[in-house]
Amino acid sequence: MARWLIILAGGRGERFWPLSRMMHPKQFLTLMGDRSMIRSTRDRVRPLIDPAHTWVVTGQDYVRKVQANLPDIPTGHILGEPVGRNTAPSIAWAAAHIQQIDPDGTLLVLPSDHMIQQEEQFRKLVVKAMNAAEQYGGFYTFGIVPTHPETGYGYIEHDGMAFGDSLVLTVHQFIEKPPLEDAETMVASGSYFWNSGMFVFKVGELMAAVERHLPELHRGLVALVAEPDHVNEIFPELPQVSIDHGIMERVENVYVLPAAIGWDDVGTFAALARHLPRNDEQNAAKGHAIFVDSQNVTAISEGPVVSFVGVKDLFVVATKDAVLILSPERSQDVRKVVQALKEAQHDHLL
Amino acid sequence: MARWLIILAGGRGERFWPLSRMMHPKQFLTLMGDRSMIRSTRDRVRPLIDPAHTWVVTGQDYVRKVQANLPDIPTGHILGEPVGRNTAPSIAWAAAHIQQIDPDGTLLVLPSDHMIQQEEQFRKLVVKAMNAAEQYGGFYTFGIVPTHPETGYGYIEHDGMAFGDSLVLTVHQFIEKPPLEDAETMVASGSYFWNSGMFVFKVGELMAAVERHLPELHRGLVALVAEPDHVNEIFPELPQVSIDHGIMERVENVYVLPAAIGWDDVGTFAALARHLPRNDEQNAAKGHAIFVDSQNVTAISEGPVVSFVGVKDLFVVATKDAVLILSPERSQDVRKVVQALKEAQHDHLL
């Protein structure tokens, strides 16, 4: 009966182009500090879970990158998906492997590309959730106290204390990405958290829930674990469903731990910009930048020196072969550039 | 008695950084069309003057670049200055060489980094000036009809027709870079031209004027032509003086040809931006650029694809190792970036 970590690293996000590329998505970027997002994710819980007990589910194209980022994880623990089928198949695939080794194990599931500033506090909550899962059973999530009516996240409504512990609350319901008006009401009410996509449960309970609520997925996984060489035939046939929708919303004993841990999914350049230190003129730089009479400029360079003269309110990313110059409030629209490059068949830049 | 071309290519301008570098100044840039500025300068008058009759005065560091740009010029016709001493020594040095070969020759002196759009008209004026110089003697300039009260240029006041030809006017006076108020008055009066820095005179007349008005320079040049291997000792001792101030303002028979030839010295990125074709959103690109919801943006790239999302009123230059993002009205301040790089000892970027 051990504790296991499953890292979800299948993202192919385009919102960080030109830092991120088809072959170098966000989880492998060093957006903050000196380590890649996936490496930070693993290191953050290393005091709790051994590398030998870590599994990663990623795209087939990224298996080698995961190995390079996490060299102390057993090679066989890096599962490469031929196509993305959302989070339920990813988690259940790794869980099916773990169940064979340790049927009584406890799982911590983490996305590979989020930021957590209060790591010590986060680890305390993880231990609390794993202890509770082992003592009481059930499905545990970490709920982020919302700071604004974000419409890009799912929400979790709680229903008061579970187990007489004010840090473990019963989940009343999950709400998918809401319209702005609903988001505003939820944030104002104080009974809702953001769904951070991090989970804790016992492997046996998860697989039983998969068998009950997603029987087609369960059958596929049994076949996949029996014949791993047939992944390219079996995996694409698995149902495409999220763990939230497929499992968490359907099981009975779901709990949320309020998590004041400095969490951010750093989903856009605008989010990244919020976390960079700024000078007196509100300029921020990662990499070599020169600011002359400029204000509220964020520069991220992977090499070129980036110089500004007399400009303001810009977000700039420079790499050797691509430069992006963005209005800070337009960071969702980086995809439009990626789309234009696709249409012009400039695949080497993607 | 032949016709000779002297190209002045000593510029070390910093206003085009990061396109221009210490070792790659403006005259070697391909700012418009598909040829370098110096190559365009030579090609423009090639129907009039043979490459074998062309001389170039440049910095010692740039001799090989001139050779590469103008491979059909005799190697011995490229004079490398160890230091810049302004235009009078440059012109007189080449003229002293030409005088030895062809004491009765006629000289056309051209800066190497100006744009002329009406080339046919320009050649007609050059022929007219050279014919006049050969028929009447004297010192000829080309006067650009001012379009705005530019304070960065010298002005020439004319005094009416010379030789009964409405296209050749007598020069009343030269005015150095004026204050704005004076510039406005001059432009409004209609009697003033911009001094384009292009000249025509007979080599014998020029050298006689040098001997009379700049005797120290003349002595130095006699020594230099006799002992060309001592250029590093002799040249730095020559007086630092412009041809305008040292000769043109002091001789008597000076003429100006009004030149409506689409001239621009393209002295800044702002000037360059004026000459690039624009799309409906007033965006212009030289190199690979992608514009999304952006207006009045100029992009110049030497390689990287430059993408814009939701921005306006920018001038951007991208090279492999440096990116400049500039407010269009601040193109004079590119020097501040160069200065910052110098202070930070990033010499490899200069």
Q: What's the whole-number mean pLDDT along residues A12-20?
A: 86
Q: What DSSP string runs through B32-56?
A: STTS-HHHHHHHHTTTTS-GGGEEE
Q: What DSSP string runs through B189-238?
A: HS-EEEEEEEEEEEHHHHHHHHHHH-HHHHHHHHHHHH-GGGHHHHGGGS
What pLDDT does residue B224 have?
Answer: 95
Residue A263's H or E segment, with its range, is strand A263-264
* pLDDT tens-place string over residues B149-204: 988 899 999 999 998 888 899 999 999 899 999 999 999 998 999 999 999 999 99
Q: What's the whole-number mean pLDDT along residues A88-113?
A: 97
Residues 279-308 of B with CB under 8 A from A: 290, 292-293, 301, 303-308
Residues in chain B: 350
**Rounded percentage of chain A residues whose pLDDT exceeds 90:** 86
For residues A256 and A193, is the Cβ–Cβ distance under 8 A?
Answer: yes
Pairs of CB atoms within 8 A across A/B: 120
Query: How many CB atoms within 10 Å of residue B92?
Result: 30
CA angle B50, B53, B59 (to 5 degrees): 120
In angstroms, what separates the C-alpha of A295 from chain B's closest C-alpha? 12
Rounded Cα gap, residues B287 and A85, in angstroms? 40
Confidence grade of residue B31 (pLDDT, cut at 50, 70, 90): confident
* B1: its two tokens: 């008695």
- Indicate the residue of B311, B321, B340 with minimum beta-carbon distance to A304: B321
Q: If you search the block for the tokens 């005179």, which residue do you land on? A: B201
Bridging pattern class, strands A305-309 and B289-292: unpaired
Highest mean pLDDT pick, A151-155, A193-197, B33-37: A193-197
Rounded Cα gap, residues A93 and A98, in angstroms? 9
Rounded Cα gap, residues A314 and B316, in angstroms? 12
B329 touches chain A (CB under 8 A): yes
pLDDT at B13 over 80: no
Query: How many CB atoms within 10 Å of residue A7?
Result: 27
Q: What's the whole-number mean pLDDT along residues A263-287?
A: 92
What pLDDT does residue A104 have?
Answer: 97
Report the predicted TM-score, pTM, of the whole model to 2 decimal places: 0.85
pLDDT at A297 over 90: yes
* B42: its two tokens: 């030579």
Q: Which residues of B touch A303 (CB under 8 A)?
A: 321
Give how far the C-alpha of residue A2 lies from the chain's centroid of Cα atoms, to the nearest Å: 23
Highest mean pLDDT pick, A204-208, A327-331, A342-346: A204-208
**Rounded percentage of chain B residues whose pLDDT exceeds 90:** 86
What pLDDT does residue B165 have?
Answer: 83
What pLDDT does residue B341 have?
Answer: 92
- Across chain B, mean pLDDT equals 94
The residue of B302, B309, B330 whose CB has the most chain A CBs within 10 angstroms, and thus the best one to mutate to test that interface, is B309
pLDDT at A50 over 90: yes
Give how far the C-alpha of residue A84 lies from the chain's centroid of Cα atoms, to the nearest Å: 14
What pLDDT does residue B166 have?
Answer: 84
Amino acid at A27: Q
Confidence grade of residue A23 (pLDDT, cut at 50, 70, 90): confident
Q: What's the whole-number mean pLDDT along residues B270-282?
A: 92
SS3 A2: coil
For residues B98 and B55, is the Cβ–Cβ distance under 8 A?
Answer: yes
Give how far the C-alpha of residue A271 lies from the chain's centroid of Cα atoms, to the nearest Å: 14
CA angle B315, B318, B322 (to 5 degrees): 115
- Indicate the residue of A293, A309, A311 with minimum beta-carbon distance to B334: A309
* A261: its two tokens: 């841990």
Calculate the alpha carbon distances from A89 to A86, A94, A222 in Å: 7, 9, 12
Q: For residue A119, what are the contacts with CB-CB under 8 A and spacing of at least 6?
A: A44, A261
What pLDDT does residue A250 have?
Answer: 95
For residues A174 and A195, is the Cβ–Cβ distance under 8 A?
Answer: yes
- The residues pairing with A6 across neighbouring beta strands, listed in sequence order, are A55, A109
Q: What's the whole-number mean pLDDT along residues A32-52?
A: 95
What pLDDT does residue B33 have?
Answer: 82
Q: Which residues of A touch B318 (CB under 8 A)?
A: 304, 318, 323
What pLDDT does residue A43 have?
Answer: 97
* A291: its two tokens: 């600011």
Q: What DSSP string runs through A182-202?
A: HHHHHHHHS-EEEEEEEEEEE
Which domains does chain B carry?
3-264 (3.90.550.10), 269-349 (no CATH)
What pLDDT does residue B133 have?
Answer: 98
What pLDDT does residue B217 have?
Answer: 98
For B129-159, the three-class secondary structure string (H helix, E strand, C coil) is HHHHHHHHCCEEEEEECCCCCCCCCCEEEEE
Query: How many CB atoms within 10 Å of residue B247?
Result: 26
Among residues B122, B118, B106, B99, the alpha carbon closest in space to that of B258 is found at B122
Q: What DSSP string runs through B107-118?
A: EEEEESS-EES-
